[in-house]
Amino acid sequence: MIIEAIITLISVVFKVLFAWINLPQVPTEIVTSIDTYLDLVFNNLTFLGFFFRPVTFKIVATSAIALYLFSKLYKVTMWIYHKLPLSSN
Binding site for other proteins (CB under 8 A): 1-4, 7-8, 11, 14-15, 18-19, 21-26, 31, 34, 38, 40, 42-54, 56-58, 60-61, 63-64, 67-68, 70-71, 74
Q: How far is the CB of 34 from other proteins (least distance, A)?
A: 7
The secondary structure of residue 47, as a DSSP letter, is G
- Least distance from other proteins to the Cβ atom of residue 88, Å: 19
- In the complex with other proteins, the residue whose CB is nearer, 14 or 83, is 14
